[in-house]
Amino acid sequence: MDWLVSEPGCTLFLHYSGHGGQVEDVDSNRSTGLDDSLVPVDFEYNGQLSSTLLHQHLVTRMAPGCTLFVLMDCCHSGSAIELPYVYRSDADGQISMMDNLRKGAQLVGEAQDLIQGGLNFNKMGEARELFAGATSFFHGLKHIGEQEEEGLQDGA
């Protein structure tokens, strides 16, 4: 997976058809306590591939200027790469910020709902999930900013 996302400016495609499952959420960012996972053929020796691991290797390490298409045909694939929103580009490949704005508004609404009535121990799982979503959201915006800066540098 690291090789797939290592070269800048590429269009990338990953397809997985097989078994999906769930594993223990080791970073405690899921209220269910489980991460979605892929179950590769060698899972008995090397384990399942958690959504956290997939995000770290496919999204966080993706070289600048890349577009990654992922097609999952398995159970528990809805959050298999932990993407907080979907980028939609126009005919020129420009990313619309509309999905990002919607996600930001959704996070603000979730934070207001969480804080309403006071924070307490029973809301800890919701708070962790909100924090994880906000962290992913801001990391995504940072990645967009890095791409824009590189585009400006190329044109200079």
User: Which residues are part of the catalytic machinery?
Assistant: 19, 75
Question: Please, are residues 70 and 14 in contact by the beta-carbon 8 Å criterion?
Answer: yes
- CA angle at residue 8 from 3 to 13, to 5 degrees? 55
- Give Cα 126 to chain centroid, integer Å: 18
Q: Where are the alpha helices (DSSP H) in the chain?
A: 43-46, 51-54, 98-115, 124-155
Other Cβ atoms less than 10 A from the Cβ of 128: the count is 16
What is the rounded distance in angstroms from the CA atom of residue 117 to the CA atom of residue 130?
A: 17
What is the rounded distance in angstroms from the CA atom of residue 120 to the CA atom of residue 117?
A: 9
Residue of 23, 61, 59, 60 whose CA lies nearest to 39:
23
92 token code pair: 């020129």
